[in-house]
Structure 1
Amino acid sequence: MIEAQEQQMSEPTAAPIIVFDVNETLLDIDTLAPLFERVFGDATVLREWFAQLILYSQTLTLSGRYCPFGELGVGTLHMLGTQHGKTINDADIAELKQRMGNMPAHADALPALKMLRDAGFRLVTLTNSASSASPTALERAGLAEFFEQTFSVESVKKFKPAPETYAHVADQLQVPAASLTLVACHLWDTIGAQSAGWQGAFITRLHNTLLPAAEVPTPNFVAADLTELASQLIDRLRA
């Protein structure tokens, strides 16, 4: 029985599985910019907020602690308000939550997902955000139909790029890590996935680029947008 299970886990899946990051990879976080323009008088503070949000999510994980991503986002906004000498009120928090729940899909997301689905790929998501909201951000953006499952770090209470988050997806799908490819526009995410035995597919969207440093794994796939990446995946994983 054990030998049969090990053989099943070692065999490649019939259809390659592509795992998508959600925030910024599929959904456009720049639609939050008007909030930061209004509160801080500078829309680029959005990038400061997002960078701090990721930093402290990873800090909590490294410290053995957990706070839901949405709550951490609110706290990070309050922190930046204090740093910039701005008062964050209930209306600001309500707007942040509303905008985060209604981020539109990037223009290249829909055609790329259609390409991959039509080529026979299995598609799932893995996000730091909560998955219990209804309707979900992916449903509001018109992308939910493409994904057979949606995974959140809530299940393990460890933010990406913790190894446990990627291992959980492989365990739930009952496939070996090597059969999974993560698509993300954050290099820290592809680094985590590749370190967990996955392949990494990196989208070089604005504000994201490669890091030329020792021990930083080069992604298996690199593309400027999702449609170009979809073509690469179809050509190489279906070859």
Structure 2
Amino acid sequence: MTTPPPVVLFDVNETLSDMRPLASAFEESGMPAAGAPLWFAEVLRDGFALTTTGENPDFVAIARDNLRRHLAAASGARDHAEDVDRILEVFTHFDLHPDVTPGVTALSRTAELVTLSNGSASIAETLLARGGVRELFSQCLSVTDAPLWKPTRDAYAYAAQQTGRPLEELMLVAVHPWDIHGAAAAGLRTAWINRTGAAYPSCFRTPEIEAEHLVALAEILAGARG
């Protein structure tokens, strides 16, 4: 039987935050709405590439560079600083997904809750505070203070060290299969949140739990506890 973990470790961007407003921000800057998820995927790609060479890059610096190139491709080479700043400002005003507040409230009754983001800890702090659930989390962690980005083992080991728990007592919750794979390879338990009904990549390690949202995850773990 599955047992509830002592610590539930959350990814932040997309897992907790609803990033759909980025599409409108892209359109307002003369770019296609469909470019928003592509841009975010490219930020992660470039961060992962730098991580494989032993660097711990700054998320915002990569995001800015990629935005400048997207804007130049859409409307030519000129000063795009204002649009870059406006789009990045959207990151500080995301809302939580509707399932997050009831889901983390239920999960907090049986586990310590912690975030671990490849972005800044302040973004997570602001997101959770605005959603009224910051007090449910003991810590908001960032790979800025870890040796390397997720999905390296070093990033998850940093979270384990900060919580004072062995890796196997942490369960990573994320919407990104690459994050699930990295955490599983590092020895963490994993829960994949699949809000869209997508197929999980067969090349990655399979999550211990798949749930359609955080409320369902809490119910699964509560059932295991019972």
- State the TM-score, normalized to the length of structure 1: 0.85
Verify the 8 A CA contact 1:182 1:199 in the aligned structure 2: yes
Which residue does 1:219 correspond to in 2? 207
**Alignment deviations for residues 93-150 of structure 1 (CA, whole Å, 9 cap, x no partner):** 22122210111000000000111123x2111110111124696332233331210011
Superposed displacement of residue 39, structure 1: 2.1
2:89 pairs with 1:98: yes
How many angstroms apart in 2 are the aligned matches of 1:207 and 1:39? 31
RMSD of aligned C-alpha atoms?
Answer: 2.1
Which residue does 1:66 correspond to in 2? 56
Q: What SS is found at the alignment partner of 1:136?
A: helix
Q: How many residues align?
A: 222
Letter in 2 for 1:92: D
TM alignment of 1:24-173, pairs within 5 A: 24-86=14-76, 89-118=80-109, 120-132=110-122, 136-173=126-163
Verify the 8 A CA contact 1:20 1:183 in the aligned structure 2: yes
Letter in 2 for 1:89: H
How many angstroms apart in 1 are the aligned matches of 2:199 and 2:72? 30
How many angstroms apart in 2 are the aligned matches of 1:208 and 1:71? 30
How many angstroms apart in 2 are the aligned matches of 1:199 and 1:235? 17
* Structure 1: gaps spanning 5 or more residues: 1-13
Change beyond 3 A, Cα 1:140–1:210: same
Letter in 2 for 1:234: A
Q: What SS is found at the alignment partner of 1:148?
A: strand
Verify the 8 A CA contact 1:186 1:208 in the aligned structure 2: no
Change beyond 3 A, Cα 1:26–1:143: same
Q: What SS is found at the alignment partner of 1:59?
A: helix
How many angstroms apart in 2 are the aligned matches of 1:142 and 1:31? 20
Letter in 1 for 2:83: D
Higher alpha-carbon deviation: 132-141 or 226-235: 132-141
Which residue does 1:23 correspond to in 2? 13
Change beyond 3 A, Cα 1:197–1:45: same
Verify the 8 A CA contact 1:103 1:141 in the aligned structure 2: no
How many angstroms apart in 1 are the aligned matches of 2:66 and 2:197? 20
How many angstroms apart in 2 are the aligned matches of 1:223 and 1:59? 30
- State the TM-score, normalized to the length of structure 2: 0.90
Verify the 8 A CA contact 1:81 1:88 in the aligned structure 2: no
Higher alpha-carbon deviation: 30-39 or 48-57: 30-39
Percent of paired sites with the same residue: 32
Change beyond 3 A, Cα 1:70–1:207: farther
Superposed displacement of residue 207, structure 1: 8.7
